[in-house]
Amino acid sequence: MFPENMTEQRKKLMATLAVVVNGLSDLPSILPAASALAIRHVSYGARREHYPVVGAALLWTLEQGLGDAWTPEVASAWTAAYGTLSGTMMAEAYGRPSQAAE
């Protein structure tokens, strides 16, 4: 799914995550952008089940990179931030799970 050269991809992901981290105190302000991002991801081939996999990889990477700075508090903040963003993106792109089951 991804281009061979991942340099730009890394920049885009981190830039988006920076927006999320900065927007955490006012989450509604970033949700419209998350909705548009989620809808673009459908055309990239992203499926609902990919989101937890990407989240696990992201948290693992942060843990490796941050070392001792990866405290339980930091881990729980990142888990919550990814959970909120990915939950919004999945709901916008694929509907809420209850809707999907109907």
Residue 21 or 66: the one with the smaller Cβ distance to ligand HEM is: 21
CB of 69 to ligand HEM, least distance (A): 22
CB of 68 to ligand HEM, least distance (A): 26
Q: How far is the first Cα of the chain from the last one, in angstroms, to the nearest whole number?
A: 29
**String of contacts with ligand HEM for each residue 32-71, x by CB under 6 A:** -----x--xx--xxx---xx--x-----------------
H helical segments located in 1-102: 7-23, 31-44, 50-66, 72-94, 97-101
